[in-house]
Amino acid sequence: MPSPSFTLDWESLSLRGTFVAISAVAIVFLVAPSLIVILTSLTASQSLRFPPDGLSLRWYAALLSADQMQQAAWTSLIVAFWATLLCAVLGTAAALAISRSDRTWARFFDLMFMSPLLLPALAFGFAALVFIYRLGLRPSIPLLILGHVIVCVPFVLRTTLAALTQLDHSLLDASASLGARGWMTFRRVTLPLIGRGVVAGSFLAFMASFDNVPVSLFLADERTEVLPIHLWQQIETNLDVRTAAVSGLIVIFTLLLMLLAERFAGLTRQMR
Amino acid sequence: MAFFVAPLAVLLAMSFARDADMHALTLANYVKFFTDPFNYSILWDTLMLGVKATLLCLLFGYPVAWIANRASARWQAVLLFLIILPIMTSVVVRTFSWIVILGRQGVLNRIAMGLGLTSEPLRLLFTEPGVVIVLAQVQMPLMVLPILTVMSKLDPNLADASRVLGAGEWRTLWRVTLPLSLPGVLMYSASVTAFVTQTLIGGARLVYMPLHIYQQAIGANNWPFAAAISIIFMVAVLCVVALLNMLMRVTPIDAKP
């Protein structure tokens, strides 16, 4: 925001200096933990020390035989995949409905759908457990997926709504006047225009589901274990370097997905 | 949406029940909560934890948003990427890396001892300051992004006008910071409910509300009481959020594009 009336007085200098200094610290503060975890996972020794004593990939190799860990990772991927798919469909539908309804209702529904982000997720996880027991059901994978959908759908809704508000309505009218039916207009005009919003939101939903603990804690049955809970228990009980190796993999996996999402959906712009 | 509201309604009903099969109505669960000081000290600690983490986060997050807003498009993209990266990375992983940093043999202690700042390792893990620091880092993107959005929509003429009228940069800043209600709110509710971070960094001795609910529900298998705690916790969080909203709208300025 360069302004013509900008003058270099003491006050603006002090402000700039302070802010640049704090920001530098904050950026280190934001990025350092991820870097440290990757470096620690490359250690050749038995202990979680930073800087590591010698470099090796032995802990990554050890993951190949960690059956429980692999099983948990696989469950998490499956749950996150289905949850994301459902979120994308439901979130887009909800966003379309909200953007078409009048202001009061739109605000009400917006608030309802966003509330899973504001309310304590753990309380919701527990509420869901109580609810399904009252219905006579028991925790299972489909219910776990459903629980994830409820807490992850706000992400898709947010980005899709943002994309919809930028949509030029004259395009829809043009399409309709050229004889396209509702569904055709949606598929050929609306969807390509809001597609980036949906993709960015789905990416966020996927990451949120893959990482969810509070809901999974209550809705996963005894036999199924998802990755974040498995890791959480590992860290609480026997902290070993394999945990660092899994963490390293997750960081790298996240980074790759983020680069993809940035490339195809302009993620950083969608997040604002 | 029904799938979100219905469980909460059942939870509310459960909080008035005597047993998990929901026979008989009773206020006993609420009475039990409010007659034991242990319970409301946990509630208070949790609500204050959120305030501390949010303030620390604002202290760091606001300057980052400010710098990002003034950076060239290219640098802004890089900065945004760095800001978003942590929130995309699993919370369990981020918390784990903080254990490596804060532990007795951790990075921070080794640096502090290397510099001669302290002769014996500081206790950072399993302390409240530790939890506050980690929460601030883990949730910072939730703070920076909305602030940046509001900032980028601010009419530059407003800042100019403020300066022409004799308000200094710091004063302008103060008047612009206040109306930013959303970031504090999101970040606050995320911090008070951050179960993973609270349990792993806080350890078993620092009990906050989410862990309290979990212990009562799964450990003690006392569903009605756990439901009552959940309801009390939710209401408390909503009250604080509403309060924050009100406080921050005291000096509204027009932030329309």
Model confidence pLDDT, tens digit, residues B58-111 = 888 888 887 888 788 788 888 888 888 777 788 888 888 888 888 777 778 878
Start-to-end CA distance of chain A, whole Å, equals 17
Instruction: Check if A1 contacts B (Cβ < 8 Å).
Output: yes
Domains held by chain B: number: 1
What CATH number is given to the structural domain containing B142? 1.10.3720.10
For residue B1, is it within any domain? Answer: no
Instruction: Check if B73 contacts A (Cβ < 8 Å).
Output: no
Q: What is the pLDDT of residue B39?
A: 86
Scanning every residue of chain B, which has its alpha carbon at the shortest distance from the alpha carbon of A232? B92
For residue B225, is it within any domain? Answer: yes
Whole-number percent of chain A with pLDDT over 70: 89
For residue B25, is it within any domain? Answer: no
Q: If you average pLDDT over residues B127-146, what whole number do you get?
A: 84
In this complex, the residue of B5, B11, B91 whose CB is nearest that of residue A130 is: B11
For residue B80, is it within any domain? Answer: yes
In terms of Cβ atoms closer than 10 Å to its own Cβ (0-12, 13-18, 19+), residue B117 is exposed
- What is the per-residue pLDDT across B8-54, written as a single tens digit (0 to 9) for each? 877 887 777 776 666 667 777 787 788 888 888 899 989 999 889 88
CA distance A10 to B192: 40
Scanning every residue of chain B, which has its alpha carbon at the shortest distance from the alpha carbon of A233? B200
Neighbours of B118 (CB within 10 A): 10
Structural domain boundaries, residue A223: 66-270
For residue B71, is it within any domain? Answer: yes
- Considering only residues B148 and A143, tell me which one the structure prediction assigns the higher pLDDT: A143
- Residue from B184, B229, B223, B238 nearest B208 by CA: B229
Extract the tokens encoding A123. Answer: 């309380």
- Considering only residues A100 and B176, tell me which one the structure prediction assigns the higher pLDDT: A100
CA distance B57 to B142: 10
Task: Grade residue A19 by pLDDT with cuts at 50, 70 and 90.
Answer: confident
Structural domain boundaries, residue B169: 37-248
CA A85 from chain centre, in angstroms, equals 13
CA A232 from chain centre, in angstroms, equals 18
CA distance B12 to A4: 58
Whole-number percent of chain A with pLDDT over 90: 6
Q: What is the pLDDT of residue A85?
A: 94
Q: What share of chain B is helix, strand, coil (3-state, %, to 5)?
A: 75, 0, 25
- What is the per-residue pLDDT across A216-246, written as a single tens digit (0 to 9) for each? 888 887 778 888 888 888 887 777 778 888 8
Q: Pick from B100, B108, B137 the residue to mutate for testing the A interface (most A CBs within 10 Å).
A: B100
Q: What is the pLDDT of residue A4?
A: 45
Contact A1/B70, CB-based, under 8 Å?
yes
Start-to-end CA distance of chain B, whole Å, equals 32
Helix H or strand E encompassing B99: helix B91-102
Task: Grade residue A82 by pLDDT with cuts at 50, 70 and 90.
Answer: very high
- What is the per-residue pLDDT across B197-256, written as a single tens digit (0 to 9) for each? 888 888 777 888 888 888 888 888 888 888 888 899 988 988 888 887 776 654 444 443
In this complex, the residue of B22, B64, B195 whose CB is nearest that of residue A23 is: B64
Dihedrals φ, ψ of B94, to 5°?
A: -65, -40
Q: Which amino acid is at B257?
A: P
What CATH number is given to the structural domain containing A75? 1.10.3720.10
- What is the per-residue pLDDT across B157-190, written as a single tens digit (0 to 9) for each? 666 666 666 666 666 666 655 555 555 677 788 8
Contact list, A5 vs chain B (CB under 8 Å): 160, 163-164
CA distance B107 to B101: 5
- Considering only residues A151 and A181, tell me which one the structure prediction assigns the higher pLDDT: A151
Contact A30/B81, CB-based, under 8 Å?
no
Domains held by chain A: number: 1
State pTM to two decimals: 0.82
Instruction: Check if B14 contacts A (Cβ < 8 Å).
Output: yes
How far from B12 is each of A96, B87, B122, CA to CA, in Å?
Answer: 31, 32, 44
For residue B212, is it within any domain? Answer: yes
| Contact indicator for A52, A39 with CB cutoff of 8 Å | yes
CA distance B17 to A133: 15
Q: If you average pLDDT over residues A125-149, what whole number do you get?
A: 86
Q: Which amino acid is at A258?
A: M
For residue A164, is it within any domain? Answer: yes
How far from A271 is each of A258, B77, B89, B185, B197, CA to CA, in Å?
Answer: 12, 12, 15, 17, 24
Q: What is the ipTM of this complex?
A: 0.80
CA distance A133 to B12: 15
Task: Grade residue A93 by pLDDT with cuts at 50, 70 and 90.
Answer: confident
Bond from prior residue into A51 cis (ω within 30 degrees of 0) = yes
Q: If you average pLDDT over residues A2-11, what whole number do you get?
A: 54
In this complex, the residue of B79, B92, B107 whose CB is nearest that of residue A213 is: B92
Task: Grade residue A272 by pLDDT with cuts at 50, 70 and 90.
Answer: low
Rounded (10°) angle between helices B169-177 and B156-164: 130
